[in-house]
Amino acid sequence: MINKLFKQQPLIIWGGALVVLLVVAAFTAQWIAPMDPNLQILEDRLLPPSWKHWMGTDQFGRDVFSRLLYGSRISLAVGLVAVSIYVLIGTSIGSVAGFYGGFWDGLLMRITDIFLCIPTFLLILMVIAFVGPSIVNIMIVIGLTSWTDVARLVRGEVLALKEREFIQAARLIGMSDRRIIMKHLLPNALGPVLVVSTLGIGGAILIESSLSFLGLGVQPPTASWGNMLMEGKEHLTDAWWLITFPGLAIFLTVLGYNLLGEGLRDLMDPRLKGSGRQ
């Protein structure tokens, strides 16, 4: 079965493998990390990769591999929580706009258009500057500012579905609007949302890493891939491993989610296979 899936949808296999690797690293960090990620051994500062320190040490003598493993927890948490928040918001807005139409559709879509006109990253920077940098604030802010694509997608799906025969039958038997939306419309509209959500996790991880790199995200000494890059940029010439391994972790993780999302899209709608990447 795996061989058949690999031949038909290799993107799902490769993307899924990278995502599983991230999840395993996040959940097993406390057991497989060779050292405490915040343990400082100044006499071991800026050591290159070796058998003792697989990815070297940083300017405080902390083990880079251990910090990378614990940083994966931050990335996974940000991706999952932020995407869950904006999928919930976008699904709610899109389903109400598509189902009721008229005034509600116009109002909600104009609000969506306003959010679309504002650069998302700039808006996140402004909000973080006011509420302060923390992992919880980052997850909430990303979730509250990134729902627009989901809302428009769900609205389009609901508009296409609400005139179908099974929805008309549900109306005739007296089923409430809420039950029609929850039981019939949303389950049939969530396929494309799953694809967007998978791709969105990679985007959320990139935003968190960018904020941490700018000093507006996860604050030291807590390890995150973004602040590891921020600290490593001071040693570009004498400690290449400080930016190479966190950068590679971000690249592979985002690549994994993007490949998985592309594979799921092709699986759910084979007509799009290949056309979306031309």
What pLDDT is attached to residue 85? Answer: 93
**202-242 pLDDT per residue, tens:** 889 998 898 888 888 888 888 899 999 998 888 888 889 99
**9-51 pLDDT per residue, tens:** 788 888 889 999 999 999 999 999 989 999 999 899 999 999 9
From the list 58, 72, 64, the residue with the least C-alpha distance to 23 is 72
**108-140 pLDDT per residue, tens:** 999 999 888 888 788 888 888 888 788 888 888
Task: Name all domains of the chain by residue range, CATH numbers in brackets.
Answer: 82-219+249-277 (1.10.3720.10)
- Cα distances from 86 to residues 157, 167, 193, 262, in angstroms, run 17, 26, 11, 20
Residues linked to residue 63 through DSSP beta bridges, in sequence order? 57
Which letter does DSSP use for residue 246 in this model? Answer: H
Helix extents (H) in the chain = 2-8, 10-32, 64-100, 102-117, 120-131, 135-145, 148-161, 165-172, 177-179, 186-213, 225-232, 241-268
Q: What is the pTM of this model?
A: 0.84
- Cα distances from 62 to residues 18, 160, 215, 217, in angstroms, run 26, 55, 20, 20
Q: Which residues contact 271 (CB under 8 A, 6 or more apart)?
A: none
